């Protein structure tokens, strides 16, 4: 989703990985996400994502008004679909991967509050200034090479009181960055898709320091998890960046 990504190569590698991970779901399963059956191969992951989504949904519901939401890196569109039910909001889902966008359009074709676009952000897809109340990146920032540049550009599309929400994504420190990169490479090697590591970016907490942001789930327990954080942890921060 940036000028630094070879789009056809990324799409092919991404789909190859998704298939090997058993993450290319049927239309029926997608329509029910984030709920999955107990025998689903990724049930634990979806329990975590469902928990984070419900907290996010409740936060948006308390705004008590329809919202114009951009779901960036929307994948198969399950979250876009869920978000559209919040106070009759309108949701735009964007993803580089044309296969998953085609899936989202098919599965949620009857939802008139949704619009999906496949393409490269800031090149093929450009929105108007002050267009969105909320921009959400859920489990997607790792596919953007320059987080500071991304956030800087996204804020132009936010309304005055708009917010960017980052969910279900790891952040790293300088101390654990090398270890995380090595773990990612080994993971993709195990899937016989080592080149995918070239498209997986590890963002630092320090990347956020020039922005006005808040960590919503930083309780005393979360602070301990952050201190000892490593790639194997199930802890994901929920970060809000304000315009």
pLDDT exceeds cutoff 70 at 2? no
pLDDT of 133 reads 98
Q: Give the DSSP H/E element, type plus range, for residue 158.
A: strand 158-167
Nearest-5° Cα angle at 97, 94 to 103 = 80
Domains, the chain, ranges and CATH? 7-242 (3.40.50.150)
The band of 114, judged by pLDDT with boundaries at 50, 70 and 90, is very high
- Contact partners, residue 24, CB within 8 Å, separation at least 6: 15, 18
Give me the mean pLDDT over the 86-108 stretch. Answer: 96
Can you give the pLDDT at residue 58? Answer: 96
- Is it the case that residue 82 has pLDDT exceeding 60? yes
Closest to 155 in 3D by CA, of 55, 67, 70, 64: 70
- Reported as a single tens digit per residue, the pLDDT across 211-232 is 999 999 765 455 555 555 444 4
- Residue 231 has phi, psi (to 5 degrees) of -60, -25
Q: How much is the pTM?
A: 0.91
């Amino acid at each position: 989703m940036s000028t630094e990504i070879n789009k056809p190569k990324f799409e092919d590698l991404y789909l190859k990985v998704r298939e090997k991970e058993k993450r290319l779901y049927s239309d029926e399963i997608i329509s029910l996400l984030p709920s999955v059956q107990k025998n689903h191969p990724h049930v634990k992951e979806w329990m975590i994502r469902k928990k984070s989504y419900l907290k996010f949904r409740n936060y948006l519901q308390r705004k008590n008004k329809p919202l114009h939401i951009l779901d960036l890196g929307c994948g198969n569109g399950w979250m876009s679909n869920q978000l559209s039910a919040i106070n009759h909001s309108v949701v735009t889902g964007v993803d580089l991967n044309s296969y998953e966008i085609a899936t989202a359009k098919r599965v949620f074709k009857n939802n008139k509050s949704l619009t999906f676009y496949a393409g490269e952000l800031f090149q093929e897809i450009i929105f108007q200034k002050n267009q969105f109340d909320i921009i959400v990146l859920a489990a997607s920032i790792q596919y953007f090479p320059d987080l500071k540049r991304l956030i800087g550009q996204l804020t132009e599309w936010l309304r005055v009181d708009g917010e960017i929400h980052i969910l279900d994504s790891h952040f790293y420190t300088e101390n654990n960055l090398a270890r995380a990169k090595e773990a990612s490479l080994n993971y993709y090697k195990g899937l016989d898709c080592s080149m995918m590591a070239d498209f997986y970016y590890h963002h630092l907490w320090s990347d956020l320091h020039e922005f006005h942001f808040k960590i919503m789930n930083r309780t005393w327990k979360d602070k301990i998890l952050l201190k000892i954080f490593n790639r194997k942890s199930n802890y994901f921060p929920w970060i809000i960046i304000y315009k």
